[in-house]
Structure 1
Amino acid sequence: MVLSRCPPALGRGCLTTLASLLLLASAATPDVAKMPAAPPACGKPQQLSRIVGGEDSSDAEWPWVVSLQKNGRHHCAGSLLTDRWVVTAAHCFKGSLDKPSQFSVLLGAWQLGNPGLRSQKVGVAGVQPHPAYSWKEGARADIALVRLEHAVQFSERVLPVCLPGPSVRLSPDTNCWIAGWGSIHDGVPLPAPQTLQKLKVPIIDAEVCSRLYWRGAGQRAITEDMLCAGYLEGERDACLGDSGGPLMCQVEGAWLLAGIISWGEGCAERDRPGVYSSLAAHRAWVQRLAQGVQLGGQAPRSRARRAPRRAPRRVPGGAAPR
């Protein structure tokens, strides 16, 4: 703060007034500093210069996508929900749930081989898998919340994603995106510098996906808390190392976390699209544990009633985590 000098004619009275003002300002400053800053709006990147037609994402294009690392190496992906919580797939912690010290989360990294000075690496304080998850391949409720050891600093490279609000409905053929650092083909890891990959995938009708995975055993492979997305002809899909990463759909100008990469048969095989854990199905559970999660999407204008959906059928076994 800069104050002008007192005119000589005002003498000591002016000095006394100025001293009082300075004392008031200094007393008020700590209170202002203690006020918590409002979290940034979810699902709205601050930089969006995309590479048209390419597979590489651009820097800061998906600022909520994180690398979940085990013993210092990329293990799964995840999505930042708040400054203390990340959501990912529960199967990423199979056999290691009681060993959170083995894990860390890398945020704000576009290239894993060159994360940059503005990336952040935070330890894991604890992991909470969904209580309904059975630790079997292709099981329902494949979702886990990761609590970070300390709050992260938001920036243009580190921002939260939105959860879909109760009014959001994603119809079949809605174009969404997935992102991750997983293999580019079965058994072929992402080459250096390991640039974050992105892929546009359409939502697939639940009945269609259920029939694709049907093998006649009378059990459902595609449960009510799963989404399917991808291409029936194959060739484009998530793969090993992409587990836990986001299925992202843009609604009303904000990116929503519609699903979590969970399982599939092989990578990019014909009639075997990717299967995702639905965040709409688990929104209440996530909100109960992770305080401060933001919702996105506005209520639809049409009040037309939807016809009830038939229960999808199940396909047994053969599922492989991503």
Structure 2
Amino acid sequence: MESSSLGSESTEVFPEGPKGFSKKKVSTHVKSVNGTRNRTAKEKTKKGEKAYKVRNGSQRYPFSVSVQRKGTHYATGALIDKKWVLTVAGEFYNVLYSVRESIKFFRVRLGTVNCKKGGVLLPIKGVEIHPAYSYKKPTYDVALLRLAVSADYSEALKPIPLTRIKGKVLSAKFLATYWPRLIVRGQVLPSSAQERVQPNSMRVSTQKMIPWSWCQSLMSTLNQTLDESSLCLDPIMSHHSLCLPDAGAPVTADDGLWGITSGWTSDNCLGNPSPTIFTRVSSPVVRAWLDSQLTSL
């Protein structure tokens, strides 16, 4: 179901999950402004679906990458090529523009569901941030990490294809894979934080999409604009500390990678939790940038 530009088609998206996850079709419960239903910005986001931890079977999510700084999980990413990991831009902005940061502090662990052991640990050679990204903004929040050594593929370590679906999405459930961050913006999370429950185990969550028109209205009340390259998810409250989305988490469906979650939150998210924003890889502006980087070597 492919189109020449965003917005020319409508579709529903369903993830292909692990055993026990239903692939039941999601009903089309939201229409456009000339359809049957249009939610308002006053409606609060619903509580996200419960996350669960992965204890084994890394071959189910062989693309998931733990990006680490000085041996501590820093952000999540997705392997999309032997030498490229797609992740969040905001967490690496200072790596490029601050003299206090250096790429030599970073490594990526691939091919394991435990961010502390197993798999392979590879150094990073460079960072490429999407040119349209603005620091501390939710849109175009994607970056590419260039590995210093090519990844050797195996059953537990494989890249994920990028979705080619470009049309409007009426309703969707996605899968997100990630490891909880214990240090955010230089601050250590308290011992009571939900993230401290088995923090080394990769987590997988099913997340519902917030209709784009509704999310656009919601973002406008927060003095933010929502670009067509972005989609929105209900925040998962039961397994996350407030206002701390898992930056860089791959958002996937049965046809591949749909996007990367942003680390952005609104200023008043403690009182009114922000939607989780993710950058859509099939957006023409994002896909053109990705293609140019992947073919540059």
Kindly indicate whether the alpha-carbon contact (under 8 Å) linking 1:125 and 1:147 is maintained by their aligned counterparts in 2: yes
Q: Structure 2 CA distance, aligned partners of 1:59 and 1:283?
A: 30
Q: Choose which of 91, 101, 104 in structure 1 pairs with 2:104.
A: 101
Q: Are 1:248 and 2:246 an aligned pair?
A: no
Identity of aligned residues (%): 25
Q: CA deviation at 1:70?
A: 1.1
Q: Which among 206, 222, 225 is matched to residue 221 of structure 1?
A: 225
Q: Is the aligned partner of 1:289 residue 2:293?
A: yes
> Does 2:212 correspond to 1:206?
yes
- Quote how far apart the aligned CAs of 1:291 are: 3.5
Once the two structures are overlaid, the 10-residue window that deviates more, 100-109 or 256-265, is 256-265
What's the secondary structure of 2:291's corresponding residue? helix
Q: Which runs of 5+ in 1 are unaligned?
A: 1-44, 293-322
Alignment deviations for residues 269-318 of structure 1 (CA, whole Å, 9 cap, x no partner): 766321111111211110111139xxxxxxxxxxxxxxxxxxxxxxxxxx
Assess, with a 3 A threshold, how the Cα gap between structure 1 residues 86 and 183 changes in structure 2: closer, same or farther.
Answer: closer
Instruction: Choose which of 171, 174, 182 in structure 1 pairs with 2:172.
Output: 174
Q: TM-score under structure 1 normalisation?
A: 0.64
Answering whether residue 272 of structure 2 is matched by residue 274 of structure 1, we say no
Distance 1:267 1:183 in 2: 18
Which stretch shifts more, 283-292 or 138-147? 283-292
Distance 1:191 1:267 in 2: 23
Kindly tell me: are residues 146 and 133 of structure 1, through their superposed partners in 2, closer, same or farther at Cα, counting changes over 3 Å?
same
Q: Which amino acid aligns with 1:197?
A: R
Which has the higher mean CA deviation after the structures are superposed, 154-163 or 48-57?
Answer: 48-57
Deviation of 1:54 (Å):
6.2
For each residue in 1:137-168, what CA deviation from the matched residue of structure 2 results, as whole angstroms up to 9, or x when unmatched?
A: 12422111111001111111111111111x44
Gaps of 5+ in 2: 1-15, 23-49, 183-188
SS in 1 for 2:206: strand
User: In structure 2, what is the Cα distance between the partners aligned to 1:70 and 1:183?
Assistant: 11
Q: 1:177 to 1:151 in 2, by over 3 A?
A: same
Give per-residue Cα distances to partners, 1:79-107, cap 9 Å, x unaligned: 00011100111111132226211111110
Q: Map Cα deviations across residues 219-244 of structure 1 (whole Å, 9 max, x no partner).
A: x432222110126x954669637211
Structure 1 171/216 Cα, relative in aligned 2: closer, same or farther at 3 Å? closer
Given candidates 56, 72, 83, the residue that maps to 2:53 is 56
Decide whether the 8 Å contact of 1:163 with 1:283 is kept in 2.
no
Give 1:202 shift. Answer: 1.6
Counterpart residue number, 2:259: 259
AA of the residue aligned to 2:279:
S
Q: Helix, strand or coil: the match of 1:222? A: coil
Counterpart in the other structure of 2:134: 134
Match of residue 185 from structure 2? none
216 and 244 in structure 1: CA distance in 2 versus 1, 3 angstrom threshold: closer
Aligned to 1:318: none
Contact 1:236/1:268 (8 A) holds in 2: no
How many angstroms apart in 2 are the aligned matches of 1:55 and 1:268? 24
Partner deviation per Cα, 1:95-145 (whole Å, 9 max, x = no partner): 2226211111110121224x22xx01110011111112222x124221111
Residue correspondences, number: 235
The 3 A distance-change label for structure 1 pair 124 and 181 is same
Read off the aligned partner of 1:221 and give its amino acid letter: T
Residues 66, 108 of structure 2: 8 Å contact kept: yes
Q: 2:68 aligns to what?
A: 69
Alignment match, 1:197: 203
